[in-house]
Structure 1
Amino acid sequence: MSNKVSCPYKPANSWETVFLSKEKEVYRIPALFYDSDKKLFVAFAEQRRTTNDASAEMLVMRMGTLKMEADSDKRSVEWLELKPVKEAYVCGYRSMNPCPVYEKTTKTLFLFFICVMEGVSECWQRFRGRNRTRLCYITSKDAGQSWSGVKDLTCLHEIKNWATFAVGPGHGIQTETGRLIVPLYAYTPCKPLYLNTPYAMYLYSDDNGGTWQFSSRLRTKSVECEMAEVSGEAGLKFIYCNARSEGGHRVEAVDKNNGAGFVTLPPAEKLVETGKGCQGSVLSFPPYPSQNHNQWLLFTHPSDKSKRINLGVYLNKSPTDPYAWSKPWIISSGPSGYSDLAYIHDGWFACLVERGEQRETEQIACVVFHYDEVKRGIGE
C-alpha cells in the first residue's frame, strides 16, 4: 500500500537534494541556517554508516546561494559541494545533533552539537543514569567557510545531575534583546533508573556567547524541541517552545520570565504527534503583508498519527492560542521525518527535511516557498 497522498496544492518550487544517502553512508538530522546579509544558506547533517544513531561518524555541511529564476517568482538554491565539519570533533566521541545559532552583533555563527562516547547509546546512559555525552560548540565568522576549535561546556554544573541530554536538533534563535537560545532536552535521573524522564529547556547567553546557563525546564514530559520568540498582548515578548512527545500531540509551552519558568499550554489537537514521536521545526516571522508587530508561527512535522509520512506545514497567527493552528499543508507526500525551517525575507521560507520514496532516510532535501503558498495550501 502506497504512503503517497494527494496534495491539494504543491510548492511552486521543486525539491532539491542536499544530502543523498547511499550504502554505508546515510545522512540524517537536518539543520538549516540562512545568513540574510550574505544571502547564503548553510545546511548541516549527520553522516552515519547506517540509520542507527550509534553509527554516527561526523557532521557535514553544504553552503548554498539563494537564486531568483528569470521572469518568475520562483526561488531556488545553488548548492556547493559537501564538506565535513572536521572541527566539530572530540577524540573518542561521535558528533551528533547539529544546532546552529547566529549572533548578529559580532556576526558569529555558533554550531552547537553533542559528542557521545563511542560505543555508548542514549538508552545505556538513561538506564544506568551515567552521562557519557559532552556539550560542545564551534564558531565561524565567515558563514561556515572556516571554524574555530571546539569549546566544551560540559563543566556547567547542571549537567552532572543528568542521565544524558541532547541539543536541538535544528536551529537556535537570538531574541530582540540579544539573548542567544539553544534548545535542548535532558533526562533527569530517578529511581528506578529506567523511569528517567526527559524535559525540554534551553541554554542561553546574554553576553554574545561569552558565558552560558540553563533555563528552567518544562513541567511536562518532552524531548527534542525548538524555540521561537513571539509577542503576546500589549506587545510583550516571550519564548515559545514546541517539543516532541509520546502523548499523541505536540507539547507547547511559553516562558514569559526570561528563563525563570515555562507554562505548558493545553494540548493542540491539530498538532498530532507521530507514533513514538518525531522531531519538528518551528519559527516565528512577521505577519505578511505587514499588519502589526506581533509574530506568527510556522511549524513543520509529519502529519500522520502513526507513521513518519506526509510532511505538513502549519500556521498559527495567535501563538498563545493552541487552538489557532491551521490544518496542515502537505508539502511532501510519502515518507518524511526530521525537518528544519529558515525564514528568508518578504514572506519567503526554506525547509530542509528528511524524505524519500520508500524511507525517509533516503535523502535530505530543501524546498523554498512563499507565505501565499502556505495560505493556499491550508485553504485560506
Structure 2
Amino acid sequence: MNSQDQSGSDREISISYQINCPNCEKLQTPSEKLPRHLCRSQVYGDEDKDKDKDEVKVQSLPTADICTAPRLLGRTCLNRRTMSDAASSATGERVRTTVFQQERNTSITYRIPSLLRLPEGGTLLAFAEKRATARDTDALWLAMRRGQVSNDSIQWSPMEELQDATLKCHRAMNPCPVYEKDSRTLFLFFICVPKGVTEGEQLQKGKNAAKLCYIKSADGGRSWSSVTDLTDSVIGEKVKAWATFAVGPGHGIQTASGKLIIPAYAYHIGSSVQPHPHAFYFYSSDSGETWHIGDTVDMWSCECVMAEVVDQEKKGHVYCNARNQSGHRVEALGHSHDTGFSKSALALKLVEQNGGCQGTVIGFPAPKSYLEKHSNADSLTWLLFSHPTDEGSRRNLGVYLNKRPLQGSNWEEPWIINRGPSGYSDLVYCEDKELFVCLMECGEKSEVEQIASVCFSLSDVLEATGKKAETQ
C-alpha cells in the first residue's frame, strides 16, 4: 500500500525496533531515520502508531518478517528474503533467502556454495568458503549453516565457522561433502593450499601445492574430527604429473552399491605448452576407510559434479558434468562398478560463458506416472542441472531437466530461477517433500554479493517449461 501522508511528503520519521528471531542474533536500534513511506509500507508487527506523529515504535516483528527492517536500515540479517521477492514471484522466479552475505563494512565475502541433505531428519548443511576478499587467494576457512525445510521455505540456523578444518599456514577451499548411509558418517572433503599461492602460479611452474583433505562427523556435523591429509597415501607419486588439482566443488554421492564418489579435476603436465585439466573422481568402496583415484575424462574438463543414473535393469551409471572453455559443458558416462568413463562429448544445449563457470547436477527418481506411461524408458533416473544461462556473462541462473540421460544430451530449455548476476551453485533433492533446493551465488550488481537458497518442486519446473502433461 502507499502510506504517504495526505500532503504527499516523504518526511523522515524515527523508528525504534527490536527483533526477536530464533534464527539470528537479536538486533536493537534505539533510533533510526527512515522515509515515512518505507516505514508504513515495509515494517510490520505490533506497532504503536499515531498518524499525527512522526514516530513509529515497533516492539517486535514476527519471524516471517524479521528481515525487512534490518534491510531498510542498512543492516544484515542472514535469514532475510530479498527486496525483489514480489518481482520474482510475478515473473515465475523463486523467492530467495540469503544464507551467506558479503559484509558491507569489510571485504569479507562468501563464495563456492556446497549443499548436502542428511537422510536422518532431513537437515540441510550449507557450506561455503569465507574469504577476506572475493579473490581466490584470500580464502580463509570454511563456514557452515544448518537448515530445515518447512513447506517451501528454509529456516537457517546461525553460521558456524570451521576454522580448524585446514592445515597450518594453508587456506581451505572447494567444500565437497558426502554422506555414508550405513555408518551414518559425514565426510567433508576440501583442498588446502598454502596461503598466498595462486592456481596460476602452480600452472606456470608445473608444481602442485594443493593437499587433499577431509574432516568427518558421526553426529551430522555438530562435531568434527581433526583434518586427515590424503595427499601422499591416495595420490602419491601421481601428484608429480599434476600442476594442481581440486575437488568439486559441490557435493559427492553414494551409489546404490555403496561406493562413495568425490568429483575432482587435475591439470595434467604433458607435452603441450600449458597443463590441461581433466575431470575424474576419488572413490571409496569400503565406507570411507580407504580412498582411490578413478580414471579421467578424456576431453578438456575442469570443475565437475557426478550423479548416478539407474537404468531399467537396475544397473548404475556414473554421469559426469564438467566445466569447459569451448562454450559448452562436457558430459561423460561410465558404469558405477568401474572407475572410468566410456564416452564423453560436448553438451550443446548447456552453454558456457567465456572461461566457463561451475555448475551442478542432481539425480532423482523419475515420476512413477511417467514410467507407467513410458514403459520403454531406458532410465529410472532424471537429472536436473543448474548453471548461468547467459552466453556472455554469469547471469540468469537456470535449471535444465533431462529425462533421458542415457541417450546422450537430452536437456530441455532452462527455467530461469534467478535473474541477474549468478555464479556457482549446488542442488539437493528432498524426495519425501518432492522439493529441490538450490544454493547459489547471486546479487544485484555482482554474483559474489551473497549466497542464497531457493526451493521449488518438479511441478514448478515442468509448468515453467510447459512439460507437465508428460508426467500425467
TM range (shorter): over 0.9
The 8 Å contact of residues 36 and 344 in structure 1, kept in 2 or not, is answered as no
Matched, 1:15 2:103: no
Residue 344 of structure 1 is matched in structure 2 by 430
Residue 62 of structure 2 is matched in structure 1 by none
Matched, 1:142 2:202: no
Matched, 1:354 2:354: no
CA distance in structure 2 between the aligned counterparts of 1:127 and 1:149, rounded to whole angstroms: 32
The 8 Å contact of residues 216 and 259 in structure 1, kept in 2 or not, is answered as no
Residue 65 of structure 1 aligns with an amino acid whose one-letter code is: Q
CA distance in structure 2 between the aligned counterparts of 1:128 and 1:26, rounded to whole angstroms: 29
Residue 115 of structure 1 is matched in structure 2 by 192
Residue 166 of structure 1 is matched in structure 2 by 246
Residue 66 of structure 1 is matched in structure 2 by 149
The 8 Å contact of residues 95 and 114 in structure 1, kept in 2 or not, is answered as yes
The 8 Å contact of residues 163 and 189 in structure 1, kept in 2 or not, is answered as yes
Residue 29 of structure 1 aligns with an amino acid whose one-letter code is: I
The 8 Å contact of residues 281 and 300 in structure 1, kept in 2 or not, is answered as yes
Residue 278 of structure 1 is matched in structure 2 by 357
Deviations 1:22-64 (A, max 9, x none): 2320000000011131121110000111111001011001111
Structure 2 length as normaliser, TM-score?
0.75
Deviations 1:84-130 (A, max 9, x none): 01231110110000000000000011000000011111111111111
Residue 334 of structure 2 is matched in structure 1 by 255
Deviations 1:268-308 (A, max 9, x none): 22111122100001010001245547100000000011100
The 8 Å contact of residues 33 and 342 in structure 1, kept in 2 or not, is answered as yes
Residue 15 of structure 1 aligns with an amino acid whose one-letter code is: R
The change in CA–CA distance for 1:128 and 1:165 in structure 2 (over 3 A counts) is same
CA distance in structure 1 between the aligned counterparts of 2:419 and 2:407, rounded to whole angstroms: 28
Structure 1: which 5+ residue stretches go unaligned? 69-74
SS at match of 1:135: strand
Residue 329 of structure 1 aligns with an amino acid whose one-letter code is: W
The within-5 A match list for 1:298-337 is 298-337=384-423
Matched, 1:130 2:207: yes
Deviations 1:178-224 (A, max 9, x none): 000000000111245x5101000000000000000011000001000
Q: How far is the alpha carbon of 1:8 from its aligned partner? A: 8.8
CA distance in structure 2 between the aligned counterparts of 1:6 and 1:349, rounded to whole angstroms: 18
Higher mean displacement: 285-294 or 135-144: 285-294
Bigger radius of gyration among the two = 2
Q: Which one of the candidate residues 455, 460, 469 is aligned to 1:368? A: 455
Residue 112 of structure 1 aligns with an amino acid whose one-letter code is: F
Residue 205 of structure 1 is matched in structure 2 by 284
SS at match of 2:342: strand
Matched, 1:105 2:185: no
Residue 287 of structure 1 is matched in structure 2 by 366
Higher mean displacement: 20-29 or 106-115: 20-29
CA distance in structure 1 between the aligned counterparts of 2:398 and 2:322, rounded to whole angstroms: 16
The change in CA–CA distance for 1:323 and 1:39 in structure 2 (over 3 A counts) is closer
The 8 Å contact of residues 229 and 237 in structure 1, kept in 2 or not, is answered as yes
Q: Which one of the candidate residues 228, 233, 256 is aligned to 1:176? A: 256
Structure 2: which 5+ residue stretches go unaligned? 1-86, 372-378, 468-472
SS at match of 1:262: coil
The change in CA–CA distance for 1:6 and 1:271 in structure 2 (over 3 A counts) is farther
Residue 185 of structure 1 is matched in structure 2 by 265
SS at match of 2:351: coil
Residue 119 of structure 1 aligns with an amino acid whose one-letter code is: G
Matched, 1:82 2:159: yes
Residue 284 of structure 1 aligns with an amino acid whose one-letter code is: G
Q: Which has the higher contact order (CA 8 A, sep 6+)?
A: 1
Residue 54 of structure 2 is matched in structure 1 by none
The 8 Å contact of residues 66 and 78 in structure 1, kept in 2 or not, is answered as yes
Q: How far is the alpha carbon of 1:161 from its aligned partner? A: 2.5
Q: Matched residue pairs, number?
A: 368
Residue 72 of structure 1 is matched in structure 2 by none
Structure 1 length as normaliser, TM-score?
0.93
The 8 Å contact of residues 88 and 95 in structure 2, kept in 1 or not, is answered as no
CA distance in structure 2 between the aligned counterparts of 1:370 and 1:275, rounded to whole angstroms: 31
CA distance in structure 1 between the aligned counterparts of 2:442 and 2:407, rounded to whole angstroms: 30
The change in CA–CA distance for 1:331 and 1:280 in structure 2 (over 3 A counts) is same
Residue 278 of structure 2 aligns with an amino acid whose one-letter code is: Y
The 8 Å contact of residues 308 and 336 in structure 2, kept in 1 or not, is answered as no
The 8 Å contact of residues 288 and 371 in structure 1, kept in 2 or not, is answered as no
SS at match of 1:18: strand
Aligned Cα RMSD in Å? 1.8
Q: How far is the alpha carbon of 1:324 from its aligned partner? A: 1.5
The 8 Å contact of residues 220 and 264 in structure 1, kept in 2 or not, is answered as no
CA distance in structure 1 between the aligned counterparts of 2:203 and 2:89, rounded to whole angstroms: 41
SS at match of 1:360: coil
CA distance in structure 2 between the aligned counterparts of 1:63 and 1:149, rounded to whole angstroms: 20
Q: How far is the alpha carbon of 1:6 from its aligned partner? A: 9.2
Q: How far is the alpha carbon of 1:320 from its aligned partner? A: 1.9
The change in CA–CA distance for 1:305 and 1:322 in structure 2 (over 3 A counts) is farther
SS at match of 1:250: strand
Higher mean displacement: 200-209 or 19-28: 19-28
